[in-house]
């Protein structure tokens, strides 16, 4: 009975179970091919996971950002174009990050100032930034200029200077820092309070606008950072990069235990949810299954995860 109560209280139970099942199934089916693919899978988990962490923070506050996929590509492409202008890699990186922060501020301002749903605001910007990407790239890949090829910053961020992809290390660092912020700081408490019960939070002196604005900025900044990391690894960015990423980040957060209504969520759960999605995608790719099957299976996986999460508390009460 004690074990059952622990399972019920564990927000990450569904994501742990899903990941373990997928990992074991693909290990049995694919054997060495699956094991050899783990480094690449970890790199891809890191790209998606960094964005998903930002999405989780925003979801906890009770808001959405459906523009993160387009922002990831837009900021990554902006970083490349800035290096092509010859301003230097580090200044280009700083400008690109500032750009992503401004995007977050703009999302926050329109959402909170004009009382428009963040779902609609960021959906609009999803199309806007993607349109700009197609316009400036004409639909082609954009690569770094030869002058920055081999640059130490790009090689470190996008390469494997320590024997494994730096993206994994950056992802782990962000995961630890954001977990501490959510569980050990005043801002973390405010974030959960705002998402759970805005009126009560307001009556306790918590600034809803300030808390949500920070969440919007963090979300966009992490999306931009992920775009830069991926761009450094790929030595450029394609016009279609990041398409559908926004829905995968929401799926990863929900599978990991985050509530779409706000007020509940963990970074560990989101990391596990991200790992579950990429385990499914990687396994199908290695098996030679049409990649569109992943899209077909993603919906049922999300529905089943939510159903299990809703059914468990009722099961344990009976």
Q: Cβ distance 272 to 256 under 8 Å? A: yes
Write phi, then psi, for 149 (nearest 5 degrees): -65, 125
| pTM for the whole structure | 0.93
- Least reliable range by pLDDT among 16-30, 40-54, 290-304: 290-304
**Sequence-ordered alpha helix ranges (H) in 257-291:** 267-286
Q: CA 248: distance to chain centroid?
A: 8
Torsion sign, CA atoms 48, 49, 54, 60: positive
- Least reliable range by pLDDT among 3-12, 26-35, 145-154, 268-277: 3-12
CA distance 269 to 1: 24
Which pLDDT value is given to residue 318?
43
Q: pLDDT exceeding 70 applies to what percent of the chain?
A: 92
Chain mean pLDDT for the chain: 90
pLDDT score of 3 more than 60: no
At 241-289, the pLDDT tens digits run 999 899 999 999 998 989 889 999 999 999 999 999 988 888 888 888 8
Domains of the chain: 13-25+36-311 (1.10.3470)
Residue-by-residue DSSP string for 52-119: HHHHHHHHHTT---TTHHHHHHHHHHHHHHHHHTTS-HHHHHHHHHHHHHHHHHHHHHHHHHTT--HH
Q: Cβ distance 94 to 243 under 8 Å? A: no
CA distance 85 to 73: 18
At 300-310, the pLDDT tens digits run 877 777 776 66
At 83-104, the pLDDT tens digits run 999 999 999 999 999 999 999 9
Write phi, then psi, for 144 (nearest 5 degrees): -65, 150
Burial 257-285 (b: 16+ CB within 10 A, else e): bbbeebbbbbbbbbbbbbbbbbbbbbbbe
pLDDT score of 4 more than 50: no
CA distance 166 to 173: 11
Which pLDDT value is given to residue 163?
82
Over residues 198-208, the mean pLDDT reads: 94
pLDDT score of 315 more than 80: no
Which secondary structure element, helix H or strand E, spans residue 293, and what is its range?
Answer: helix 292-317
Which pLDDT value is given to residue 11?
64
Q: Cβ distance 157 to 166 under 8 Å? A: yes
Which pLDDT value is given to residue 156?
93
Q: Is residue 294 very low, low, confident or very high in pLDDT (cuts 50, 70, 90)? A: confident
pLDDT score of 34 more than 70: yes
pLDDT score of 8 more than 80: no
């Amino acid at each position: 009975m004690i074990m059952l109560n622990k399972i019920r209280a564990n927000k990450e139970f569904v994501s742990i179970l899903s990941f373990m099942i997928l990992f074991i199934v693909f290990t049995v089916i694919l054997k060495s091919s699956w094991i050899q693919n783990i480094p690449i899978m970890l790199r891809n988990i890191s790209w998606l996971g960094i964005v998903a962490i930002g999405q989780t923070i925003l979801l906890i506050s009770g808001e959405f950002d459906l523009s993160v996929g387009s922002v990831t590509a837009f900021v990554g492409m902006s970083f490349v174009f800035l290096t092509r202008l010859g301003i230097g890699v580090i200044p280009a990186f700083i400008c690109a990050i500032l750009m992503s922060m401004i995007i977050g501020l703009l999302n926050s301002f329109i959402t909170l100032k004009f009382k428009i749903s963040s779902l609609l605001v960021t959906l609009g910007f999803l199309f806007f930034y993607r349109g700009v990407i197609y316009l400036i790239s004409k639909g082609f890949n954009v690569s770094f200029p030869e002058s920055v090829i081999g640059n130490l910053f790009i090689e470190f961020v996008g390469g494997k200077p320590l024997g494994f992809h730096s993206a994994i290390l950056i992802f782990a660092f962000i995961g630890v820092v954001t977990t501490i912020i959510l569980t050990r700081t005043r801002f973390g408490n405010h974030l959960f309070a705002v998402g759970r019960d805005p009126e009560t939070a307001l009556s306790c002196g918590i600034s809803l606008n300030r808390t949500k604005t920070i969440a919007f900025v963090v979300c966009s900044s992490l999306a931009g950072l992920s775009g830069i990391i991926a761009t450094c690894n790929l030595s450029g960015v394609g016009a279609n990069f990041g398409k559908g990423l926004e829905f995968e980040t929401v799926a990863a957060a929900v599978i990991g235990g985050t509530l779409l209504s706000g007020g509940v969520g963990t970074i560990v759960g989101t990391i596990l949810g991200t790992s579950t999605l990429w385990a499914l995608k990687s396994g199908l790719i290695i098996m030679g299954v049409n990649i569109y099957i992943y899209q077909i299976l993603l919906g049922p996986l999300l529905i089943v995860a939510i159903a299990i999460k809703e059914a468990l508390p009722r099961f344990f009460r009976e």
